[in-house]
Every structure is written in C-alpha cells, then in structure tokens.
Structure 1
Amino acid sequence: MLSFFRNIFKTKIGLALTIGFVGLIGVAFAVGDVANTGGLGGSLAGGDNVAVVGGDKVGAAEFSEAATNAVDQLRQTNPTISMAAFVEQGGLTEVLDQLLDRRAISAWARKHGFSAGDNLVNSEIRRIPAFAGADGNFSETTYRQALAGRGLTDATVRRDLADGLLAQQALVPAAFGARMPQKIAMRYAALTKERRQGGIAVIPSNAFAPKGEPTAAQLTSYYNSNKADFIRPERRILRYAVFGADSLGSVQPTDAEIAARYARDRANLYAARELRTFSQLIVPTRQAAEAIAQRGPGALETAAREAGLEVAKIPSIDRNGYAAQNSAAVAQAAFAANRGAIAAPARGALGWYVVRVDAVQTVPARSIDQARGEIVAALTAEKRTRALSELAGDVEQQIDEGNSLSDIVRSLKVDVLTTKPVVADGRVYGSGTERVPDALAPALASAFEMEEGNPQIAAMPGGETYLVYETARITPSAAAPLAEIRADVVAGWRQAAGAAAAKAAADRILARVGKGQTLSQAVAAETAALPAIETINMTREELASQGQRVPPALALLFSMARGSVKKLEGPNNAGWFVVNVNSIEPGKIAPNDPLMAQASQSLGQLLGREYSDSLRAAIRKDVGVERNAEAVAAVRQRLVGDNSAN
C-alpha cells in the first residue's frame, strides 16, 4: 500500500541489473568472476586495473567479463539488447559499483572475523539446481561441464560463492527485523487517507513543434547529441540448408536383410502365441493372497475394496511381456490358469499377486510373406535413421576440415537459402512482424554467437532432418548513419524543439500563476491550443489502487505543498506538465485499522534497506575504494567499439 512513497534501486534498464548482495548465492555463478590480471597491491599503478579495493586490485579483464555476463543475463529476457545500449543506459557503471561493493564487503567481513569455509561453500554448490544430474542430486560431471561451458574455474565459482556467503553474514543482520516506530508508522498510514484537490495542465510538445525543415547544422547537431536514441541492434544475414531423407540413396531393405530379421524375431513376434487379459491384485503376504483366491473369481473386486486396494486391469499381453512386468513365477501361474479362474498366488517384485484370467486369445503364426510389410517398414526406418546419422557425421567432418557451406550443400544436392538481416530474437530487421523461417529456430541462438563463414550443423526436432547453416554477414550494433534515417532524426528534432518550446510555455504559465492567476486562466493565455485542465480530487489510497505505474504528474501532485505549483517534464520529449495543489485534507486512521499492519511491514522493509545501504557505504569507506577513470574508460571503449559506423 505504501510502496509508492519510495522507489529504490530504480534505473533506466530496470531491476534486472541490480545484483543484490543478500542474494549473491543465487547469481554468483552467472556473474562470472575471472582471473585478476593485475596482481595485488594498494596502488593503481600499471594502468590495467579499474580499481583498488583495500589492497586488492580489480583488473580490467574481470570488469569486462562481469559486464559481458550481465548483458548475457539481460538477453534471456531481451535478446536484442546490445552492449552499446547497455553501456549508454548506465549498465556498465552499475556493474562496476556492484563488483566493487562485493569485493569491499568480502574484504571487510574477513577482516572482522567472518568466514565462509570450504564445507559451507561445498554445501552451497550442491544446492545450486544447475549442477544437478539426471537423478536430481549434485553431479560432479554436470558441475564441471557447466563451468567449462561458461569458461569458469572451480576456484572462481568458489570465490563468488564465498563472497556471497560473507555478504549474507554482514548485510542480513543489519536489515533483519528492522521496525519503524509505531507513531511514525501511524503517520505514514494516515497519509493513505489524505485527500488532495488540484489540477494538471498538459503542455504537449507537438503543439509547439516546428513545421518546417531543420538546417543541416541543426540536424547534425541534434543527431550527434542523441545518437543513443538511434542505435540499431546487431543484425545478421544467415545462409542455411535443410537436408533429410531426400539426400539419401536407396534405403530399401534387401531380401536377405528381411529374411535375417524374420529369423531373429520369429520366436518372439511371428510364432504362434497366446495373449491373455488379466485382473490383478497385489497384497503383502502369502496368507492374504491365498485367502482372496479362495473366495473365487467373482469376489476379487469385493476383496480389494474391503482391503482398501484397487484391482488393476492388464490389457492383452503375452507370457514374456507379463514376466518382464512382474516375475517369471507370476507369469507361469497366470498362463497356467484357465479362462475365468484365479491363478495360484505367486510372489513378484511388489508382493504376492492374485490374478484372474479375463480373456485368452490365440494368435496364429505368421509366415515371412505375411510379416514382410511390417519388417520392411521397420528396417526402412532403421536404415533411414542410420544413414541420416552417417550423413550428418559426414557433414560434421566436412565442417571440421574447413569446407565452405557452398561445398557442403553441393555434396548434399540441396539448395542453400539466405535470410534477410535478422536480429537476435528472430525478427527480420525493419519488417515489424516478419520472422525467420521456422527451420532456423533451433539454431538462432548459436547463429548469433558465431563468426562469419563458419558453418555449423544442428538436428531439427523429430530427428528426421538436419540444418547446416552459417552467419554470412554481421552488422554490429551501432547508431544508424544520419543519411539512412534522416526522416526519423527530423521527427526527433521536431519533437525536441517542440519540447523546448513547451518548456518555455510551462515557465510562462508558472509565472502567471505566481502573479495570482488560476491555472486555467494561465493556460488560456497561451496562443497555442492546449488541452483542458484535468481536475484532481482523490486520496492517496485511491492513488495507490492504480498499481505500481502511477502517472508521474499524479505522483508529483501528491508530493507538493498546498498552494504550490510546479512543472514536470514528460517522457520522451512528449511535453510538460504544470501541476498545482489547491487543498490538502489530512487523513485520519485508527490504531487498529488494517492499514497499520501493512504500513508497519512496508516501512520496516524500507528501513531494513536503508540500514543495509548505510552499512555498505560505511564498508566502502572503511576498506577504501579507489577507481581508475582512465582504465574504466578503456574498458568501455573496448566493449562498445567505434559507435560512429553503421
């Protein structure tokens, strides 16, 4: 209810980037510490260290790897985000802050006697789901494979986990159990009942946007100052071919193969056999089984109900199949009994079996001619699967030998197809809704990690076809050239110019209100046609009911003093708001109001975060953190590269 009072850890790229130290254990593996190349010491001398935390240097390689892994994590929910966009939106600064905080907390905790020993780290490793094997338990093999897949070492992961455990020990007690005093909680809870009356004037940019064309100098200046708004995602052109059974020679079985298969399976599949249908009850003791059998075939279901059990129906099955399900003794007894009778109780894997023979069917033997169609179908499928696997292996060998995609598809006698430029989420760049063909879906993620001209092979769902593909051309993420997006830049320039004029109009309206005019009178004095004033009359409780996305102008109205007027910039150069508060009616709340409990809980959480933040700041000061701005800038340049090209 009171969450709108404070917004914590909010950035342009959202909470996905906030690596909270209390939860480090859950993300330490993904953060990806790498070996520090700078050595130890208390100085930034050497130029390759982005910071020194206490006496511990933080190398540029470690910082770069942490930023790369942060982007990789974001791409799980936003596949098109580029490193350039990540850096432009403040992500690199946030990653460095988190990296230095983590290192500082670890150093401080060890200095003051906190520990995270090998046994504790081992137990945390065993609890991470990513390291579990097929049986759900920790697997050393899976653990090693997971580390190798991310280019990490055991020592690296153990350090991250130890740092996370130390952070827990240091920060959780600081925040745990924080409680706001009752009188303060009551004041905040009473705010939810507060009622405000006022008005909001909207000053849209498009009401003031220039209609004419900008000069070349104006347009170039605007473009250079706002390149981040025109960054294109990375695009790739992919070449691919699909091959399957059509690329194989004859896979029809020969007469000799058919005869050999018939001879192999004659006893089990084609000889005369008997199929039986059973009703089956399993009990724990021989005495119980014999007592039920003595009651006769018709009493089987009744006996089961009396014992709180249920009779299982076993559909038509032969002796070997039934023995495989239970035991040879149970099958022997069941196939010795007459139709409609209860077989002699026999012991199986789960207990004693009481079996009633419900139906008996004799299946006559089949000759090779009678079984030919079935055998041909089975052999053809097997030979096709084997031949496809061998063909895929041959393609892999060609790839290993350095053959080009063109040479490979020529040997397969299939056509090579080429996509339009596509982005990482599968959309065709600039098309809106068009996507890559479904055939490329299994390979899309790896295609955006490949170098140009290096073919790869992938099995398609179902195992009947394969995909061989390559990245033919990579266009890096960068700001689009002005000449190619002139219309978009002109539109942005108009919007920005309109926003500047809207700001001037908002200032004039503020001045008029300051001289005694009402907000409506001040807006009406403008020559541009502006929307009517929106009248507001609501409580904070009604405001909170709108959810987390409270309109900024409304949030401002509920933070101003009575009789005041303020302006607020709208998002994306959309315009400006002028907000005034005419009256404020204080809220009242009883001590037993349910809102009191909600307020106490919410404020306690906020207070706990404040304690935790304060402790982190004190730890940084105590340990000492020194940053190397030049090294940070160098890492930024290496990650982003030249952003002026297409």
Structure 2
Amino acid sequence: MISFFRRFFASKIGLPIVLAFLALMALAFAASDITGSTFGGVSGGDRLAVVGGEGIPISELPVAANAALDQVRAQNPTLTMPEFVAEGGLDEVIDQLIDRFAVGEYGRRYGLRAGENLVNSEILKIPAFQGVTGNFDEQTYLAALRSRNLSDATFRRDLQDGLLEQQLLRSAVAAPQLPEKIARQYAALVLEKRKGEIALIPSAAFAPAGNPSDAQLTAWYKDNRTQFIRPERRTLRFAVFGADTLKVNATPTAAEIAERYKRDAAKYAASEKRAVTSFVVPTQDAAKALAARIAGGASLEAVAREAGFTASSSEAREREAMAGATSFAFAQAAFKAAQGGVIEPAQGTLGWYVARVDRIERTPARSLAQATPEITEQLAGEKRVAAIADLVAEIEGEVDGGTALAEVAKAYGLKVETTPALLANGRAFGKPEVQIVPQLAPVLQTAFQMEESEPQLAEVVPGEQFVIFEVARVEEASAPPLAEVRDAAIAGWKRAQGAILAKQAAERILAKVRGGTPLAAAMAAENKPGFEREVIDLERRQLLAQQRGRIAPPLVLMFSMAEGTAKTLEAPRNIGWYIVDLEDISTLPLDQEGQMIAQTRQQLGQTLSEEYRSQATAAMRKELGVTRNDNAIAAVRRQLVGEQ
C-alpha cells in the first residue's frame, strides 16, 4: 500500500488499544486489602469508583496500570507509561477493574458464593505458586504476591470475583451459534470490492519557513512533551566468566589415578568380542542337520535361504551382551567356536540357533601405565567441572551476601565492563550501531526489573559460562529538556502550524470533490508541492491479507463509508490530513463460497461469546449503578505520566 499509510504506525501501540490480561496476577486487584466497608459517594479521594454502594480503592489503579503495561511490553519493550496512557491504555484498565468488581458484586447480591475451600483449590492449581517439588509452596506463593504488590486477602478477593464470573457467565456465553443468514451478510463483506482515491495533504507543505520565538516554542513543547518522551534507559556493569577464565587446579594425583584404575578394573582387563551370522529354526534336529551341511562347506546364507529362513549378521559383542540378545547357551557355544567355524546349535527363546563366527576381536589388558593418559584426561575433566561449580557457588555466595561487583571481580580476577545506556530491547540508546555482548541478552529482562546496586549472578551457558551484572544507573522514561531536542521541537511546531493550514486546504478540496470536481483537479488547484494521491481498487479480503491486521486508518475509513461519499481524516502526529473519496462498491456473488460462509460463522461465533459477555457485564453495571471518581482518576493519570 502507498507509503504514507505506513506513517500511522509511528504510534507505539495505535488506537484502539486492545489489552489482553492473560495472567491472573495481572488482573488481580492490587495494593491494599478490601475492607468491605460501605461507601455511598465518590467525594473521598480514596475511591476509583463506587459499584452498587461498594467502593473500589483508588490505590488499585496504578498497580493494575503497571501490570497492564508489563503485558503490552511483551510485544513492545520500549513502550513508556505516558505513551500507554496517551493511547488509551489507562482507560482500558479502569474499565477492566470496574467490570471485574461489578460482576463479583452482582453475584454476591444474588446469593452466589465462592467459598474458602474453592479459592484454596484454585490457588493450589496455579503453577507460579509451586516449588521445586512441583507442589504448592507457601513461601513461593507469598513471594509471588509481594512481587505484584498484592496481599493475600486482596488476591483471594479477586479469585472469588473470577469464580463468581464463571458461575454467572459461563453458561451464557458457551458456544453460541451465529445464524447462517447473518453469517452470509458478513461473508459478503469479505467479498466486497471498493474503488476510490486517498490523498494526503501534508502539513509540511504549509509549515512556516521561519522558526518560532522562544516563548512560542516553550509553550508548544510544554503541551506536547509526550511526543518526545525517551524510554527508560539502564546502564549495566557486568563481568563475564566461565570455564575458560576461572583458574582452578584440575590435575589429578597419582593416587587418584590408581584409585580410578582399580575401580574400573574390568574396563582395562583383557576382553573379547565376537560377530556372528545366524538364523533360527524351530527344532533341534533341523538345527543339527543344517549346521552339518554348513560345516561340510555349504554357505550359511544359501542353506538358510533354501530352508525358507533369513540369516542376519550382528555387530561384535562381548559374551554378556550376546547372552542378553540371544541366550546364555548360545553365547557359551559362540565363544567356544573358532573364527569362521560353525557354532554348535543352541536353544534360544524363539527356537534353535544355527550360526557362524564371522569375526573375533580381542583386546589385550592395559596396565596402569597404559591407562594413565585416558584416566588423567577423564579425571581432569571431572575435577574441573566440580571445581568450577564450587567456585561459582562461592562467587554466588559473595554476591548474595552483598559484596560489591568490583570487589568480587578483583578477588577472582574478573574484568568489569560497563554498557552504554540500554533500552529494554537491548539496543544502545542513541547508538544503534553499538551491539551489546551476547551474554547480556538473557538477563536484560531481569536487569530492567531489579533495583540499582543489586548485583546478580546468572548462568548463560549451563556449566560453562556465567555473568555477574548490576544496574549502575537508571534513567526514567521522561521528556528531555527542550534544549536537548530543540531542532526536533522546532520541526514539530512547524508541523503543528502547518497542520492547521493543511486542514483548511483539505476542507476546501473536500468541498470541491463533493461538488463534482475530480480529486486530482481539486488538489492541483491548491498549487502546493508534496501532495500525494493513490487510486484504490481493493477487495476487503485482499486488504486483510496484505495488511495482516494492521490496516491504516484511511483504508479503514474507506471500507466503512457509503458509496459516492468523501471524507477527511486527521493523520497522527500532525503529519497532515487524508481525503478519502469512495466512488464505487461492488460485491462478488456468494454462490460458490460455501466454505467462506462456514468459516465466517465459526469465527464470528467466537466473537459472539465476547459480545454476550460484554452485554451481560454492561447490564450488571447498569443494575448495580457505577459512579466514577473522575477527580481521583485524573490525579492518578497525572501521576503516571509524570505531571506531578
């Protein structure tokens, strides 16, 4: 699609934002216990909202917002809280909290309950609360709650609400069936084809040539600081070490070598292996007769084939291994025969073996002196692994005990390095060409969650490579001083001023198009450079396939307009204004699209469940009554974006 559509995606998460609270911990109410006291109004600043006479503590909102931001950061690590709030994320969090509380209150009002035993059973099922044995561990449970700023009472209250929601809504939303007639209507939309034009009237074409005054720029920057927010940066100090850098004494002594030689005496004793070719017959008489023919000079393979059997060859085996694969009697007989000779028939599980010794491999015994090089290498490897494990445990003890990274590095001869300021995705801030050492990649997520001056040890390659790291400096997400981004701010101010004139130009062009003037002619009449225009001739299914769910707003508008209409649409970040002119709508016949109708019915059936759930929740909120504390919400909003 045309290049200016892509500029929409300069936005970090776009609108509308869809928050998926996938983990129960992210959904849990946070910060303080619910006291159960009644609160009839929202004049107090300690309530987010009042639902059916019960208040939701405002303290839950910032923690829930941070939990939601963590969820979104799984796809966009550099997203900041101000950007999250600006894109509508906080509003989604508020709705989630109120809905969750409303459903629970509604269930309790009509006598539903989730008892303590049921809540306990749910807690026991959560994998995050299981210890190393795979069973529920109380300390793991409490640590997980502390990491989310949750109390046990608060978490249990949220679990109760979730269980009540299941009781209320599960049957209402279970496997709804979308009528086929409705499915056909939606399937027809997929086959819909639209023709028209989309133009961009860029702000840059109308931007003033001169720079703003200091007062103008300062005032504009104050109102638009969120456009310049720099994501959180962290500078790490680290030391990489491993088996190749730690100095350990892994040379075995003569006594250790002798002890190992004694322990593995069977390994170094003389040994013999034999490879045989054999086949099995049902009776002893048949086996003896066939063996006699082979001993007389006939080929074992030919004799077996003539008798209707198949001969098979085995690899060379020691006596015990051969006995396990065949029988003890056969192994005894095989190790008595000469190489190339016929083995005395012996009975096995499936019958009587007729066999020939193909090859004998004899390994002479090895003396201590002869085995010493092999034993030395083996022991040295074992001792080195053990010594490194002990040394790593020792270093980890030092780190856990609070010893500074510099002191640990000095004591063990490690080299301490410092990264540039890093973003959560591992890139160096302002230096895209700089690559961090690969050993830091596995620990970045931890590094962006830990406090400063808290060194940690992590295993990079199991048993081979390790890294000690600490956060040397944290630079919170914030807008920089104007002086640091003055040129970018001036460009932003010019776009903003140009956007005002671009809107006026777009309205003039729109009026002409609605009056019958072709879009190209109306644009040309403005006599401005930089205007862009694209002819659109697309089926909806082509659009969905090409854009993969990330459809630019002008195209969304075009596929929602009435035929023969034209509209304007503001582009994000003062880029300019779009003009969308829809000329024709046509729909391909559905007669040959039975599979598409079936798919549409199935897919929209899933959406129908969510719609039923949404409608049921809305009805509960209406019956209970919801009053939001807008002043308290505004205060939290300002706090989250750093305005107070």
What TM-score, normalized to structure 1?
A: 0.78
Match of 1:362 in 2: 362
> Alpha carbons of 1:396 and 1:587: their partners in 2 closer, same or farther (altered >3 Å)?
closer
CA shift at 1:181, angstroms?
5.8
Match of 2:577 in 1: 576
Q: Is the 8 A contact 2:272 2:361 kept in 1?
A: yes
Matched, 1:467 2:467: yes
Q: Is the 8 A contact 2:130 2:141 kept in 1?
A: no
Per-residue CA deviations over 1:119-177 (Å, capped at 9, x if unaligned) read 8767766776667899xxx9314797466345367776665555334334433443445
> Alpha carbons of 1:81 and 1:563: their partners in 2 closer, same or farther (altered >3 Å)?
closer
| 1:582-593 paired onto structure 2 within 5 Å | 582-584=583-585
Any gaps of 5 or more consecutive residues in structure 2? Answer: 1-11, 292-299
| Aligned-partner Cα distance in 2 for 1:88–1:67 | 13
Match of 1:105 in 2: 103
> Alpha carbons of 1:577 and 1:28: their partners in 2 closer, same or farther (altered >3 Å)?
same
Match of 1:253 in 2: 252
CA shift at 1:55, angstroms?
5.2
CA shift at 1:617, angstroms?
0.9
- Number of corresponding residues: 609
CA shift at 1:619, angstroms?
0.8
| Aligned-partner Cα distance in 1 for 2:139–2:345 | 54
Match of 1:88 in 2: 86
Per-residue CA deviations over 1:577-602 (Å, capped at 9, x if unaligned) read 22334455677655986655455556
Q: Is the 8 A contact 1:198 1:535 kept in 2?
A: yes
Of 214-223 and 41-50, deviating more is 41-50
CA shift at 1:108, angstroms?
1.7
Residue identity in the other structure for 1:111 = R
Q: Is the 8 A contact 1:54 1:107 kept in 2?
A: yes
CA shift at 1:223, angstroms?
1.9
> Alpha carbons of 1:290 and 1:143: their partners in 2 closer, same or farther (altered >3 Å)?
farther
| Aligned-partner Cα distance in 2 for 1:495–1:240 | 43
> Alpha carbons of 1:389 and 1:497: their partners in 2 closer, same or farther (altered >3 Å)?
same
| Aligned-partner Cα distance in 1 for 2:236–2:284 | 71
Q: Per the alignment, in what secondary structure is the counterpart of residue 372 of structure 1?
A: helix
Q: Is the 8 A contact 1:131 1:139 kept in 2?
A: no
CA shift at 1:609, angstroms?
3.9
Residue identity in the other structure for 2:406 = S
Residue identity in the other structure for 2:143 = A
Any gaps of 5 or more consecutive residues in structure 1? Answer: 1-9, 20-25
| Aligned-partner Cα distance in 2 for 1:333–1:160 | 71
Q: Is the 8 A contact 1:81 1:233 kept in 2?
A: yes
Q: Is the 8 A contact 1:105 1:619 kept in 2?
A: yes
Q: Is the 8 A contact 1:71 1:86 kept in 2?
A: yes
Q: Is the 8 A contact 1:293 1:342 kept in 2?
A: no
Matched, 1:508 2:483: no
| Aligned-partner Cα distance in 2 for 1:342–1:497 | 104
Matched, 1:616 2:614: no
| Aligned-partner Cα distance in 1 for 2:160–2:276 | 59
| 1:447-458 paired onto structure 2 within 5 Å | 447-458=447-458
> Alpha carbons of 1:411 and 1:525: their partners in 2 closer, same or farther (altered >3 Å)?
same
Per-residue CA deviations over 1:310-335 (Å, capped at 9, x if unaligned) read 99x98666567x59xx9799679746
> Alpha carbons of 1:450 and 1:300: their partners in 2 closer, same or farther (altered >3 Å)?
farther
Q: Is the 8 A contact 2:207 2:494 kept in 1?
A: yes
| Aligned-partner Cα distance in 1 for 2:276–2:164 | 62
Bigger radius of gyration among the two: 2
| Aligned-partner Cα distance in 2 for 1:335–1:34 | 75
Matched, 1:148 2:167: no
Per-residue CA deviations over 1:456-487 (Å, capped at 9, x if unaligned) read 22233042333222211111111122211222
Residue identity in the other structure for 1:448 = F
Match of 2:5 in 1: none
Q: Is the 8 A contact 2:287 2:352 kept in 1?
A: no
Match of 2:498 in 1: 498
Q: Is the 8 A contact 2:197 2:582 kept in 1?
A: yes
Match of 1:6 in 2: none
Match of 1:268 in 2: 266
| Aligned-partner Cα distance in 2 for 1:352–1:223 | 94
Match of 1:17 in 2: 19
| 1:197-596 paired onto structure 2 within 5 Å | 197-244=195-242, 245-265=244-264, 267-275=265-273, 322=321, 334=331, 337-338=334-335, 360-514=360-514, 517-529=517-529, 531=531, 533-537=533-537, 540=540, 546-547=546-547, 548-584=549-585, 596=597
| Aligned-partner Cα distance in 1 for 2:371–2:231 | 59
CA shift at 1:39, angstroms?
0.8
Residue identity in the other structure for 2:205 = A
Of 46-55 and 428-437, deviating more is 46-55
Matched, 1:40 2:42: no
> Alpha carbons of 1:631 and 1:521: their partners in 2 closer, same or farther (altered >3 Å)?
closer
| Aligned-partner Cα distance in 2 for 1:335–1:204 | 94
| Aligned-partner Cα distance in 2 for 1:156–1:627 | 21
| Aligned-partner Cα distance in 1 for 2:611–2:642 | 40
> Alpha carbons of 1:160 and 1:255: their partners in 2 closer, same or farther (altered >3 Å)?
same
Q: Per the alignment, in what secondary structure is the counterpart of residue 612 of structure 1?
A: helix
Residue identity in the other structure for 1:564 = T
> Alpha carbons of 1:316 and 1:90: their partners in 2 closer, same or farther (altered >3 Å)?
farther
Q: Is the 8 A contact 2:34 2:154 kept in 1?
A: no
CA shift at 1:490, angstroms?
2.3
> Alpha carbons of 1:345 and 1:105: their partners in 2 closer, same or farther (altered >3 Å)?
farther
> Alpha carbons of 1:441 and 1:13: their partners in 2 closer, same or farther (altered >3 Å)?
farther
Residue identity in the other structure for 2:255 = A
Q: Per the alignment, in what secondary structure is the counterpart of residue 232 of structure 1?
A: coil
What is the Cα-based RMSD across aligned positions, in Å?
A: 4.6
**Alignment match of 1:139 (pick from 134, 151, 164):** 134
| Aligned-partner Cα distance in 1 for 2:286–2:44 | 87
CA shift at 1:515, angstroms?
5.1
| Aligned-partner Cα distance in 1 for 2:194–2:450 | 58
> Alpha carbons of 1:341 and 1:579: their partners in 2 closer, same or farther (altered >3 Å)?
same
| Aligned-partner Cα distance in 1 for 2:405–2:587 | 74
Q: Is the 8 A contact 1:193 1:540 kept in 2?
A: yes
